[in-house]
């Protein structure tokens, strides 16, 4: 089955620094990846859609200059949280799909717990 690997699983950083989160599709090529954010006891909120070889599409209210997304290959998308602040502390989750897949179904990574201190 489709496997999405996300790294790191946990990260603690100091306020003002940047953190990069990786999302890899291990056994399929992901033409599109999605980045979500989830606060405690809340649902997943879509942040942006990452398309291989093109600019990401951000949801309303998400700062594109703060959350940098790069999808340079069919198996890797990265989310960089720049100048992180405590309010950016959250659970970040990616998902991937492929236009080459025979059906829908979006595989999620295991998530990254970001804590900004």
Q: What residues line the site for other proteins (CB under 8 A)?
A: 4, 6, 32, 34, 42-46, 49, 91, 93, 95, 97, 104-111, 113
Q: How many residues does the chain have?
A: 117
* Contact in structure between 95 and 36 (CB atoms under 8 Å): yes
CB neighbours of residue 103 within 10 Å: 4
Nearest to residue 21, comparing CAs of 1, 62, 13? 13
The smaller minimum CB distance to other proteins, of residues 11 and 91, is found at 91
Output 78 or 97, the one with its CB closest to other proteins: 97
Q: Shortest distance, CB of residue 114 to other proteins, whole angstroms?
A: 13
CB of 105 to other proteins, least distance (A): 6
Whichever of 16 and 105 has its CB closer to other proteins, that residue is 105
Nearest one of 100, 103, 94 to 56, comparing CA atoms? 94
In angstroms, give the least distance from the CB of 91 to other proteins.
8
Q: To the nearest whole angstrom, how small is the minimum distance from the Cβ of residue 96 to other proteins?
A: 9
CA–chain centroid gap for 14, Å, is 20
């Amino acid at each position: 089955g489709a496997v999405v690997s996300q790294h790191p699983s946990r990260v603690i950083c100091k306020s003002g620094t940047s953190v990069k989160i990786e999302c890899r599709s291990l056994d399929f090529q992901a033409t599109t990846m999605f980045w979500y954010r989830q606060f405690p006891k809340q649902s997943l909120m879509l942040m942006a859609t990452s398309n291989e070889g093109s600019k990401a599409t951000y949801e309303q209210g998400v700062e594109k200059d703060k959350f940098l997304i790069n999808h340079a290959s069919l198996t890797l998308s990265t989310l960089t949280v720049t100048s992180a602040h405590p309010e950016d502390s959250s659970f970040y989750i990616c998902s991937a799909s492929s236009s080459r897949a025979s059906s829908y179904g979006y595989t999620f990574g295991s998530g990254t717990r970001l804590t900004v201190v």
